[in-house]
Structure 1
C-alpha cells in the first residue's frame, strides 16, 4: 500500500468533525474540490469507503469510525508535541470556544481581553451564536452548553446555574400597566423564540410558565429579543445577566423564576492541552467572580 499523507488524514478529520466537505474546506482554508480529491485518494489507498453521502452531508461508515478514532489520537499527539515546542509558559495555536449568544456576548466577550493579554500568541475563536459547535466531534476545544451531554467522548462539569425572569420596559409599564399572568399575550404582547428554530429544549421558557403562552414577536436571537423588550414592544423572558443590568427594564411578575445551567464541556482527548486547561481555569474564575450577575436579586416593579 502506498504511504498515506498526513494532509489527507487531516482533511478526513475535518470532514468527520464538520459533517460536510464544504465546511471542512472553509476550516482548512482550501477549496472543496481539493478536499474531495484527497478523500477519494485516501479511500483508494485504504481500499475502504469512509463516508456515505447523505442530503445533509458526509456520514462516517464503520470503517470511517474506526479510522477516526486512530486519527484523533494522532492529532492529539501532534498537538501535544507542538505544545512541547513552545517557549515555557507561552500558549500558541488556535483555541476555539463555542458558547450561547447571550453568555458569549454579555459575559465572556466583556472580559476575554484579560485572558488574551496573558496569552498574546494564542488565536482565540469565540463562536457565540444561536447553536453550538460539538466538542465530541472536535468542532470546538471548549463549549459552554445548556445541558450535560448524554454521550460522546467528552468531559463535562457544571459551570453555574443562572436565573431568568420576565422583563418589561419601564415605558411599557407606564403605557400599558403592570403585566400579570392574566394579561400576558393579551394586553401585553409576548416576545420570545421562534419555536421551530430553537437550538436547545432548555430555551422553552414560556411553556414552563404556562403551556398556553405563545410569543407573537419572535426571534432566534436573545439579543434581538432583549432589544425588542427594551423598546417597549412586549414582555419576555431574559437571563438576569442581560435583563437585570439594563436600567430601562423592570422585572415583572416576580413569582415567575426560572433556573437553567451552564455546562463546561471539553473533549476527553484534548482537555489536558495547556491552552484548554488555561481557558477552563480562566473561565471558571470569571464565573466565580460574576456569580451575582447569574443568580442575583432582581429589580422588580414596585
Structure 2
C-alpha cells in the first residue's frame, strides 16, 4: 500500500460532510467522475472501503472516519498558513433548514451576526416545517420541532418556546373573547392543515381545543399570524411571533398553551467545520438573547 494522497483525503472530507458525490464535486469545483476516481484511489492506498452506501447518499465506514480525522488535520494545517488572523479568515457556505418562524426570527439575525464577524461565510436558510431528515444531503444544519429520531447524526436541544391562543382585537370586538375552555367550541381555529402536518409535536389542536372547527389553515405559520390578525378566528400561534403585534390579544393565557422545543441536527463531521461552528455559535447566542421572548414572557 502507498501513502494516501492529501488531495484524496480532502476529497473524502468533502464527501463525508455532504454525503453525496455530486454535492462534494460542486463544492470542490470538479466533476462527479473526479470525485469517484479520487475515492477509489484513496481506498486502494488504505486497503479498504472508506464509504458505504446509505439511503440517498454515502456514509463513512470506520476506516473512513479515521481517514476523515486525518483530512481535518490537513485542512486545519492549510488554514493555519493564512496567518495570525485565525477564524476571521473563515470562508464557505453554510446551509440551514429551519421552521418558518425560527428561520425569520432566529436564523436570519444569527446569519447577519455571522456575516459581521466572518464576511467570507455565506448563510443559506431553507424554511421548512418537517421532521429531521434521515439523509442530510445538501444541508449542514437542521432545526426541527421536537426531539428527533436520527441516525448517524447529533441532535442538540436549542430552546423551548410557547404556543398560545390569540385573537385580533377586531375579532374580540365583534364576537367576544371566550372566558372558559368550553366556550372555545363557538370559535373557529386558525392553525396548520391537519392532513399535511408532518411534525408530531405540532399536532396540538385536537388536544388543546378538540371542539374548535377549522377556519383558515396553512402549512406556513406566517399565514396563521396574518389570518388571525385579519379576524379569521382564534390562532394557535408561537408567542414570540404573535406578541410582536399590538392588534393581537392572548386568549386564556395559562389555560390554553403548549411548551415545545427546538432541536438542532447535524453530522458530527459537519459540526467540526469552522464555518459551521461559527453559525452554530451565532444561533445559540441569538436564542439566548431571545429566550424570554420565545417563552412568551414580557420583555423587560
Aligning the two structures, in what range does the TM-score lie when normalised by the shorter sequence?
A: 0.7 to 0.9
| 8 Å Cα contact 2:156-2:264 kept in structure 1 | yes
Equivalent in the alignment of 1:246: 245
After superposition, the Cα gap between the structure-2 partners of 1:208 and 1:175, relative to the gap in structure 1 and judged at 3 Å, is same
Equivalent in the alignment of 1:55: none
Q: Which runs of 5+ in 2 are unaligned?
A: 1-6, 44-48
Distance in 1, Cα, partners of 2:291 & 2:211: 33
1:214 offset after TM fit, Å?
Answer: 4.5
Distance in 1, Cα, partners of 2:278 & 2:53: 35
Distance in 1, Cα, partners of 2:114 & 2:128: 21
After superposition, the Cα gap between the structure-2 partners of 1:14 and 1:264, relative to the gap in structure 1 and judged at 3 Å, is closer
1:134 offset after TM fit, Å?
Answer: 3.9
Distance in 1, Cα, partners of 2:243 & 2:170: 16
Distance in 2, Cα, partners of 1:43 & 1:264: 30
What pairs with 1:101-120 in structure 2 (closer than 5 Å)?
101-120=100-119
Distance in 1, Cα, partners of 2:132 & 2:81: 28
Distance in 1, Cα, partners of 2:76 & 2:215: 51
Q: CA RMSD in A?
A: 4.1
1:271 offset after TM fit, Å?
Answer: 1.7
Deviations 1:132-181 (A, max 9, x none): 66486353222222123333222222211111100111110001111353
| 8 Å Cα contact 2:111-2:123 kept in structure 1 | no
What pairs with 1:81-100 in structure 2 (closer than 5 Å)?
83-84=79-80, 86-87=82-83, 88-90=86-88, 91-100=90-99
1:227 offset after TM fit, Å?
Answer: 0.7
| 8 Å Cα contact 1:206-1:214 kept in structure 2 | no
Q: Does 1:204 align with 2:198?
A: no
| 8 Å Cα contact 2:94-2:276 kept in structure 1 | yes
1:10 offset after TM fit, Å?
Answer: 9.4
Distance in 2, Cα, partners of 1:225 & 1:271: 34
Moved more, 225-234 or 264-273: 264-273
Moved more, 173-182 or 146-155: 146-155
What pairs with 1:1-302 in structure 2 (closer than 5 Å)?
28=26, 59=56, 70=64, 74=68, 77=72, 80=76, 83-84=79-80, 86-87=82-83, 88-90=86-88, 91-131=90-130, 134=133, 137-179=136-178, 180-184=180-184, 187-254=186-253, 255-297=255-297
After superposition, the Cα gap between the structure-2 partners of 1:96 and 1:59, relative to the gap in structure 1 and judged at 3 Å, is closer
| 8 Å Cα contact 1:198-1:220 kept in structure 2 | yes
| 8 Å Cα contact 2:110-2:282 kept in structure 1 | no
- Name the SS for the 1:89 alignment partner: helix
Deviations 1:1-22 (A, max 9, x none): xxxx9799899879955xxx9x
| 8 Å Cα contact 2:132-2:150 kept in structure 1 | no
Distance in 2, Cα, partners of 1:10 & 1:193: 40
Per the normalisation by structure 2, the TM-score is 0.74
Per the normalisation by structure 1, the TM-score is 0.73
Distance in 2, Cα, partners of 1:8 & 1:266: 20
1:270 offset after TM fit, Å?
Answer: 2.5
Q: Which runs of 5+ in 1 are unaligned?
A: 53-57
Deviations 1:21-40 (A, max 9, x none): 9xx57x949xxxx86x8899
Distance in 2, Cα, partners of 1:15 & 1:158: 22
**Length, aligned pairs only:** 280
Distance in 2, Cα, partners of 1:219 & 1:199: 13
Moved over 6 A (4+): 5-15, 37-46, 66-69
